Amino acid sequence: GPKVLQIPSHQIIDMGQMVTLNCDPVSNHLYFYWYKQILGQQMEFLVNFYNGKVMEKSKLFKDQFSVERPDGSYFTLKIQPTALEDSAVYFCASSPPGLGVYEQYFGPGTRLTVL
């Protein structure tokens, strides 16, 4: 089936540094999402992105977070600066246009460790 890829699979970074998480969504999909999951806890919605804009974001999407998808390349989540509480697995998801717009396809996640 359709696959979403995420790069890297693991990232270790010092607190205060910047990190960019990359997502390669399914090719014809137009809606993109980021989620955060702390080990053993619930999956939490961060942000939805469509047509170059943030459509909706949660309280977890702090000012230090930003998303973009320049020229149809990777859909990225940037955290600058990072904090200890940003340690989690970040999942990217995408949805197709049309009738399937609410059906999401998830990537394998990027495990971010902030030291």
Partner 1 sequence: GQQVQQSPTSLVLQEGENAELQCNFSTSLNSMQWFYQRPGGSLISVFYNPSGTKQSGRLTSTTVIKERRSSLHISSSQITDSGTYLCAMRTGGYKVVFGSGTRLLVSP
Q: In angstroms, give the least distance from the CB of 30 to partner 1.
A: 12
Does 102 help bind partner 1 (rule: CB under 8 A)?
yes
Q: In angstroms, give the least distance from the CB of 45 to partner 1.
A: 5
Does 37 help bind partner 1 (rule: CB under 8 A)?
yes
Nearer to partner 1, 16 or 97 (CB): 97
Q: In angstroms, give the least distance from the CB of 72 to partner 1.
A: 20
Per-residue CA distances from 90 to 28, 37, 84 (Å) = 22, 6, 14
Which position has the token pair 């970074």?
Answer: 13
Which position has the token pair 């990225």?
Answer: 76
The Cα 61–Cα 100 span in angstroms is 26
Nearer to partner 1, 4 or 79 (CB): 4
Terminal C-alpha separation, the chain:
36
